[in-house]
Amino acid sequence: MDPASRHGKLTTHVLDTAQGKPAAGIPVRLTALGPTPRLLCETTTNADGRCDAPLLEGEHLIPGRYELTFAVAAYFAGQGGPSETPPFLDHIVLRFGVAAADRHIHVPLLISPYGYTTYRGS
């Protein structure tokens, strides 16, 4: 087996369930949690609601606790969403663990202006 194939990757995508379409232009931050949290990457979702590259892959994906932060307020405002100040959802923070670094961990986020759902995909 190729040594690179033993390493997994971490990906995400965002779907706007209120409009039934991918959510483009959402800033995404990935942080490694621990005694001292460490920002690992910042990116933005593309037209398909996905990030252009995995958030982590290969030897950079290690078991541990992580946090994904999705800045959704500007996205909803740009979609003609509710104009409440402050908005109900501003940043959505997902904390999760990676137990095995040799798998594809996919963290989808389904959003609407008043709620969200996530799950562990593959």
Supply the CATH number for residue 80's domain. Answer: 2.60.40.180
Residue 88 zone, left/alpha/beta (φ > 0; ψ -120 to 50; rest): alpha
- Count the Cβ atoms, other than its own, within 10 Å of residue 63: 10
Please say whether the dihedral angle defined by the alpha carbons of residues 97, 100, 102 and 104, taken in this order, is positive or negative: negative
Residues in CB range of 72: below 8 A, 6 or more apart: 23, 26, 89, 90, 91, 92, 111
Residue 4 has what pLDDT?
A: 45
User: Regarding predicted confidence, which is higher, 82 or 2?
Assistant: 82
Give the pLDDT confidence of 79-116 residue by residue, as tens digits: 887 778 888 999 999 999 999 989 999 999 999 999 99
Q: What is the pTM of this model?
A: 0.91
Which DSSP state fits 59? G
Report the C-alpha gap between 121 and 108 in whole angstroms: 7
pLDDT given for residue 76 in this prediction? 93
- CA 23/CA 15 separation, integer angstroms: 5
Q: What is the pLDDT of residue 88?
A: 92
pLDDT at res. 114: 94
Q: What digits encode the pLDDT tens for the residues 35-71?
A: 999 999 999 999 999 999 999 999 999 999 999 999 9
Number of domains present in the structure of the chain: 1
Determine the structural domain holding residue 9 and report its residue range: 3-118
Q: Kindly state the percentage of the chain with pLDDT values over 70.
A: 95
What pLDDT shows up at residue 6? 64
Phi and psi based region of residue 20 (left: phi greater than 0; alpha: psi -120 to 50; beta: remaining): left
